[in-house]
Amino acid sequence: METSQIIPLVIIAIIGILTLIFLIPGLTGAPYVPTLKKSVELALTKLYPIKKGDLLIDLGAGDGVVLYTATKHGAKALGIEINPILTLIAKWRFRKNKKITMKCRNFYHCHFPKETTVVYAFAVSIHIEKIRRKIEDEVTRLDKPIYFISNAFNLKDLKPLKQLDTFYLYKIGPAKK
Ligand SMILES: C[S@@+](CC[C@H](N)C(=O)[O-])C[C@H]1O[C@@H](n2cnc3c(N)ncnc32)[C@H](O)[C@@H]1O
């Protein structure tokens, strides 16, 4: 095969791989669409005033905009992201920020640290109840309530403590024994 035939194949292969990396997460949580900086700021000041002592987990952290905003207000932040490219970008962007930890994992397979106080997710509606069950399992394992901020979608049969703009704030407690 000549070089002129190989180059288009390589380009098609790269585009195919990138498309898969960015689209597959849509099947498990949501494809990559970042929350607007202004909106995150609103959610973490007016809906849930985040502070020193909080540990926020962003389930599907994207490029880390939510993590960064949480740390600006003194909290620690853990991002769990399935897309290795986005994980690398966030790790590079926030390499000097000691309050941010970024993991390239499927969040359904991760245990939350015991210091977790608040979980954030910007998912699509079909996954929101599965994410809720994941949070309930972790809250029961840790035996303490955790706040949950959902961007764009509300939970069935659970009244939010507050609602602001596109955000819903819930408090999820351990299952009764
Ligand atoms: C709508 S974006 C939100 C990004 C970020 N949280 C924000 O608000 O700017 C959803 C992210 O979740 C990631 N994602 C989807 N399913 C996932 C899973 N099972 N585990 C980890 N990350 C996941 C996607 O790759 C995508 O970056």
Domain ranges of the chain: 3-172
Nearest atom (ligand 1) to Cα of 127: 16
- CATH code of 3-172, in short, is 3.40.50.150
**Residue with CA nearest ligand 1 atom 8:** 35
Answer yes or no: is pLDDT of 159 > 80.
yes
Query: Between 72 and 29, where is the model more confident?
Result: 72
Amino acid at 24: I
Judge contact between 73 and 51, C-beta under 8 A. yes
Cα separation, 95 vs 89, in Å, equals 10
Radius of gyration of the chain (CA): 18
Q: What is the pLDDT of residue 15?
A: 85
- How far from chain centre, in Å, is Cα 136? 16
Return all residues near 59 (Cβ < 8 A) that are at least 6 apart. 29, 80, 107, 119, 120, 121, 123, 131, 134
Instruction: Place 9 in a pLDDT band, splitting at 50, 70 and 90.
Output: confident
C-beta of 35 in contact with ligand 1 (< 6 A): yes
**Residue with CA nearest ligand 1 atom 26:** 32
Least Cα distance to 75 among 38, 111, 119, 108 occurs for 119
Instruction: Compute, in angstroms, the gap from residue 19 CA to the centroid of ligand 1.
Output: 15
Instruction: Compute, in angstroms, the gap from residue 87 CA to the centroid of ligand 1.
Output: 10
Instruction: Compute, in angstroms, the gap from residue 9 CA to the centroid of ligand 1.
Output: 30
Instruction: Place 36 in a pLDDT band, splitting at 50, 70 and 90.
Output: very high
Judge contact between 135 and 148, C-beta under 8 A. yes
Q: What is the pLDDT of residue 43?
A: 98
β-strand partners of 162: 169
Phi and psi torsions of 31, nearest 5°? -70, 170
Over residues 51-69, mean pLDDT:
97
pTM of the model: 0.92
**Residue with CA nearest ligand 1 atom 2:** 32
Cα separation, 30 vs 36, in Å, equals 16
C-beta of 117 in contact with ligand 1 (< 6 A): no
Answer yes or no: is pLDDT of 29 > 80.
no
